[in-house]
Amino acid sequence: MSPFQADGTPMRVDQKLRYRLIEIIALWEGRLTTNHLCEAFDIGRQQASKDINTYIRESAGSSLEYDRSLKGYRPAAGFTPRFCKGHVDEYLQLLARHDDLGDMLSLTSLQPDATHFMEPPSRFVSAQVVRTLIQAARQGLTVEGHYDSLAAEPPADDPGRLLAPHTLVYNGFRWHVRAWCEKNQGFRDFVISRFRGDLSLEPRKAAKTREEDQAWNRLVEVRLIPNPRLAKRQREIIARDFGMDPASLCRSERVRQALLPYYLKRWDVSEPYNHALPAEHQHLVLDAIEQNPQDQSDGVATAPQLAVPISGPPG
């Protein structure tokens, strides 16, 4: 699709943003409706419908097709995005920023000359796998597929895994799905890039739901402090770096218990403390973890990670 309109004039930035959103939602969710555009850009349904139809017309019909069973548009055979790169990070970052209108500008390729943003390493993730996981999570269904685990060699007659996903999680380094595993009879984390081949959506209802995932619903209070082995001046600098209370030199946050290992890794905190490393290489240390089994919530701002509703290292 050309960046120019039919009359030869350059396409407006807002139009590019809408087309970009159209492609990202269609590619990764497998279902696009006018509501996506209405809510993201605060436009009317008529304008949203016009944008979608214009996008389809200008792509010569090889982009989207209407699916009556979905009551929305899905990618047509041979669909190739033109306004996005087709990376899963674009979709997941969009979810992370959808509440912040200011960050909508990050969807453009424009960038101030005085700043530079280093993109995090991008892992290969199958769009079919993500779409299936999201659909299963939203409908309370299960998925079946093959998963390559670092912990164990799969048997020759690998029967695959039967999973009931409930949340996609970005832990600051990679994306995984939190799901009930029939094989292990427990909630586990599965790295999305390690699914081998396509996933199949099963009509079987999830045996366990997010409400039954105790480690996910339980919140713990985590307190981080500057390394006590540092000099007082150094500790005060570190406290300022990480926005700590200048009096207590402490940072306290509530974190989902299931995400605690990722939270500590994100802050580069060794647990247990690594005495072999110099203090200068361990700016932050864990001061305490307070657990309160009664303190459960599903809407608490936790750690620097995105959890998209749709325990340790991944299996």
Tens-digit pLDDT profile for residues 238-295: 999 988 988 899 999 899 999 999 999 888 888 777 777 788 778 888 888 887 645 5
Q: Look-up: residue for tokens 């995005």?
A: 81
pLDDT number for residue 309: 41
Is pLDDT at 110 greater than 80 in this prediction? no
| 91: helix, strand or coil | helix
- Note the pLDDT of residue 44: 94
Q: What digits encode the pLDDT tens for the residues 144-155?
A: 999 988 877 766
Q: How far apart are the first and last CA of the chain?
A: 41
In order of 32, 33, 241, the CA distances from 38 in angstroms are 12, 9, 39
pTM of the model: 0.72
Contacts of 6 (CB under 8 A, 6+ apart): 58
In whole angstroms, what is the distance from residue 166 CA to residue 310 CA? 6
Query: For the CA atoms of 264, 269, 272, 278, what is the dihedral angle to 10 degrees?
Result: 170
Residue 156 has a pLDDT of: 66
